[in-house]
Structure 1
Amino acid sequence: MPALMLPEEIEALFTREDGSYAFARWGRPIAPIVFGVADETLAIVKGAVEAVVTLAGHQMAETDPELGTNLMFFFFRDWEELLEVPDLDRMIPGLAPLVNRLSSEEASQYRAFRFDDEGAIKAAFVFLRMKGEMAQVPAETLALTQAVQVMLLWSERAFSEVSPLAVLPENGNTILRPEIAGVIAAAYDRMMPVAAQDASHALRLFARLQGPAPDQQEHTT
């Protein structure tokens, strides 16, 4: 059985920098698309998303009836390349100043979410600048990390110090940390809300972690 997280540790995963609690999960099947990678990397990214979706007990789809695709991954080398993507400025308001800010900060990644009327995630955009350390991360590890981070609306600080992944010492395989897998599975329990702004939600997640551990998804790197 995986090591259980304490209620305050779960709460911290969804507590914003301003101290507010904000949780959301996907409210519709996930239809991903990936730009800027070779076919073999495309398969790795989609496979990682499918693995985490399966863990959560959620669903994948070929298309979203409203949006076509609702999870977009963009791989590139320079932030300015995003300004050349057709219609991206319509999907990401304020794209030009955002690109300027991320470029000046030499950021390596950025995620943006869109929500439906109930507060559930209805679309997400993942931007990955493949330079420096980011370019050295194995594709499987990068894909699984990003799939985890887009599955829920985590705090911006949730994985700033500790990765959601772990390496098995006996074989070097990379897995999703059991306690994080447990939180994802609990968050998608059909009795749980799709969105929450009260920290008592973390206690409900904790209560569901007392049950059987979810199967782990393993990726060889």
Structure 2
Amino acid sequence: MTPDEITALFTRADGSYLFARWGRPIVPVVFGVEDATLRVVKGAVEAVVTLANHKMSDTDPELGANLMVFFCRDWAELPEVPNLDRLVDGLAPLVERLTAADANQYRVFRFDPDGQIKAAFVFIRMDAHLAEVPADTLALSQAAQVILLWSDRAFTDISPLADAGGTLILRPEIASVIRAAYDPVLPGMAQDPSHGLRLAARVSLLQ
């Protein structure tokens, strides 16, 4: 990928640049699925965290779990989840917007004072389209999209996954960006587009 293409991955629709990675070990918990699917989701998260050379843990000292993945059939189910409105500000209007847009997925991030990712909430509505997607594919896609604070346009036209002989894997260029993004020499949060150039330089060094 060119430096401009890498910078675009973190340039939002309003033109602002915003990059953030996790600053604490990731502790996932999954709601609304059977045990087999739960293991698939946690396995995908672990694979992407390992790729990033980041860490997972059994518990977050402040939150308990800091990556919460919710599967549902209808957005109206979310307000019924106990205490979810305390974790996600504006849950009721969010559900209204998701319903009106006929969306099937959404991610909410929370941040530590230094701007690094503190927690993430992933909401997946299993509509007819997602019901046809294999669990491992869906899990890997979500894990890739939650490991960094990507632009709201990053994967609008192109999936973070690629077909490798019938097996869907992370696109190599996206995997390279994830690895480079967690290089300790780079900041955990950045708002200056020049960060995209530094990130591109780290990608080149890792290839």
Shift of 1:101: 1.1
Q: CA deviation at 1:168?
A: 1.0
Query: Corresponding residue for 1:191?
Result: 185
State whether structure 2 residue 111 is matched by structure 1 residue 122.
no
Listed one character per residue, the Cα deviations across residues 147-184 of structure 1 (whole Å, up to 9, x for unaligned) are 00000000111001111100113xx1111111000000
Separation in 1, partners of 2:137, 2:118? 25
Question: Is the 2:180–2:206 Cα contact (8 Å) retained in structure 1?
Answer: no
1:136 is displaced (CA, Å) by: 0.9
User: Of residues 70, 77, 88 in structure 1, which corresponds to 2:73?
Assistant: 77
2: CA distance between counterparts of 1:212 and 1:20?
27
Unaligned stretches of 5+ in structure 1? 214-221
Query: Given the two structures, how large is their TM-score scaled by the length of structure 2?
Result: 0.99
- Alpha-carbon offset, residue 105 of structure 1: 1.0
The match for 1:48 among 31, 44, 49 is 44
Query: 2 CA distance for matches of 1:129 and 1:56?
Result: 27
Task: Give the whole-Å Cα distance in 2 for the aligned partners of 1:100 and 1:177.
Answer: 33
CA–CA separation in structure 1 for the residues paired with 2:16 and 2:205: 28
Structure 1 segments of 4 or more deviating over 4 A?
none
- Find the aligned partners of 1:204 and 1:46 in 2 and give their Cα distance: 31
Once residues 25 and 12 of structure 1 are traced to their aligned partners in structure 2, the CA distance between those partners, rounded to angstroms, is 16
* Secondary structure of 1:209 counterpart: helix
Q: 2:126 matched to 1:134?
A: no
1:209 matched to 2:194? The reply is: no
Identity percentage of aligned residues: 67
In structure 2, the gaps of 5 or more residues are none
2:173 aligned partner, one-letter code: E
- The amino acid of 1:184's aligned partner reads I
Q: Pick from 156, 168, 174: which aligns with 2:168? A: 174
Tell me how large the CA RMSD over aligned residues is: 0.7
In structure 2, the residue corresponding to 1:61 is in which secondary structure?
coil
Aligned residues: 207
1:113-162 deviation line (CA, Å, top 9, x unaligned): 00001000000000000011011111000000000000000011100111
1:59 and 2:55 equivalent?
A: yes
Q: Which residue of 1 aligns with 2:141?
A: 145
